Amino acid sequence: MVLKQISVTVPDVILKASNSYCKQYGYRNIQEFIVDLLRKKVLFENVQRYKEIEQRMSEGVGVKKFNQNYAIKYLRGL
């Protein structure tokens, strides 16, 4: 896995609260905490999004229904 460095600017009050949270919950440093936050946010929201899409599809909401010829034409136009 390739790691990339980023820079984040946050208000002092959020940084202090984050540092306190890190100590309370056993994070080694603020970087580990932020990476964990990003991972949870990205993964959780994607899972939730896919569940919502699957639910709508199973209910037929917002689903395009194609016959075979129209589906082929549609896919070729992408």
19-77 pLDDT, tens digit per residue, is 999 999 999 999 999 999 999 998 888 888 888 888 888 887 777 777 888 888 888 88
**Domain annotation covers residue 4:** no
Consecutive H or E run containing 72:
helix 68-76
Cα separation, 59 vs 71, whole angstroms: 20
**49 assigned to some structural domain:** yes
41 falls within a domain: yes
Q: Give domain status of residue 21, yes or no.
A: yes
Q: Is the pLDDT reported for residue 5 higher than 90?
A: yes
* Number of domains the chain is built from: 1
* Spatial separation of the C-alpha atoms in residues 69 and 16, rounded to whole Å: 60
- Containing structural domain, residue 20: 12-76
- pTM (2 decimals)? 0.58
Return the residue matching tokens 């549609």. 74
